[in-house]
Amino acid sequence: MSATIRPATIADLDAVAPLFDAYRQFYGQPADPARARAFIGERLRHGDAVILLARHDDAVAGFTQLYPLFSSLRTGRIWQLNDLYVAPAARRHGIGRALLAAARDHAQTSGALGLQLETRRSNAAAQRLYAALGWRRDDSSHVYTLTV
């Protein structure tokens, strides 16, 4: 059975929150189901993100979360693909590819100029997938952060 992907709603909060908590743990954060649920609940209630939810074999399999951004230089909307996670039991079934395709479709139908993402340099598996799907790494810029 192939994956089905659709935008999540507040009714999906209990399905998305554990995946989001697992995603955060993948990136070294401590497990915190309450924090994950609160954060995802805010995104869904306020509509300030698009969360695409994947199901495979009648089980929740993964998600991606997109945030809207605007490019002043390109004078248009772009989507930041901020989070992409596939549950371990659902990996190797094309769920990540399907989520990335759904994100691309969402960008196209929303009239966006494109998508961007950031991943750790050590995440080689994700980088191979992005490259295989036509994503290009931008080596012309540096990313800076400031914690406040």
Higher per-residue confidence, 52 vs 145: 52
Domain spans of the chain, in order of start: 4-132
Q: Where does the pLDDT of residue 1 fall: very low under 50, low under 70, confident under 90, or very high at 90 and above?
A: low
Q: What is the pLDDT of residues 21-47, one digit of tens each?
A: 999 999 999 999 999 999 999 999 999
- Could you tell me the pTM of the whole model? 0.93
Q: Where does the pLDDT of residue 58 fall: very low under 50, low under 70, confident under 90, or very high at 90 and above?
A: confident
pLDDT of residue 117 exceeding 90, the answer is yes
C-alpha span between 25 and 19 (Å, rounded): 10
Report the candidate in 51, 57, 48 with the shortest Cα–Cα distance to residue 11.
Answer: 51
| DSSP per-residue string spanning 41-78 | HHHHHHT-SEEEEEEETTEEEEEEEEEEEEETTTTEEE
Q: What angle do CA 22, 13, 104 make, to 5 degrees?
A: 75
What integer pLDDT is reported at residue 145 of this predicted model? 85
Task: Report the mean per-residue pLDDT for the chain.
Answer: 95
C-alpha span between 69 and 93 (Å, rounded): 31
Q: What angle do CA 65, 126, 145 make, to 5 degrees?
A: 60
pLDDT of residue 4 exceeding 90, the answer is yes
Report the candidate in 94, 145, 87, 89 with the shortest Cα–Cα distance to residue 118.
Answer: 145
CATH fold of 4-132 reads Aminopeptidase (3.40.630)
Higher per-residue confidence, 42 vs 120: 42
